[in-house]
Amino acid sequence: GTNKRTQRELELEVENLGAHLNAYTSREQTVYYAKCFSKDLPQIVELLSDIAQNSQFGEEEIERERHTILR
């Protein structure tokens, strides 16, 4: 989640738009991207901006992602 939205609210917003969010990590970068209808682009950009600037991570989430990245 973020300071503005819970994880569930983020998921519902993306789902209601019929969009898809994903991310991947390499040695040199982490990439977040979205697939959406062009009419929904402003809303998706705002959502990605919120995620990039205001994310809140619990210790369990950090450890889960650490294991995913190290695989």
Q: Quote the pLDDT of residue 58.
A: 86
Residue 18 lies in a domain: yes
Instruction: Indicate whether 62 belongs to any domain.
Output: yes
Reported as a pLDDT band with limits 50, 70 and 90, residue 57 is: confident
Burial of 62 (0-12, 13-18, 19+ CB in 10 A): exposed
Distance CA 48, CA 33 (A): 8
Which residue range(s) make up the domain with 62? 7-70
Does 2 reside within a domain?
A: no
Phi, psi (deg, nearest 5) at residue 44: -70, -40
The two tokens of residue 20 are 């898809």
Above pLDDT 70, what percent of the chain?
Answer: 100
Instruction: Judge whether 19 and 34 are in contact, CB under 8 Å.
Output: yes
The yes-or-no verdict on residue 38 having pLDDT over 90 is yes
Q: Is residue 37 part of a domain?
A: yes
How many domains does the chain contain in total? 1
Would 60 be classed as within a structural domain? yes
> Does residue 31 sit within a domain?
yes
pLDDT at 4 over 90: yes
Residue 47 lies in a domain: yes
Is-above-0.75 flag for pTM? yes
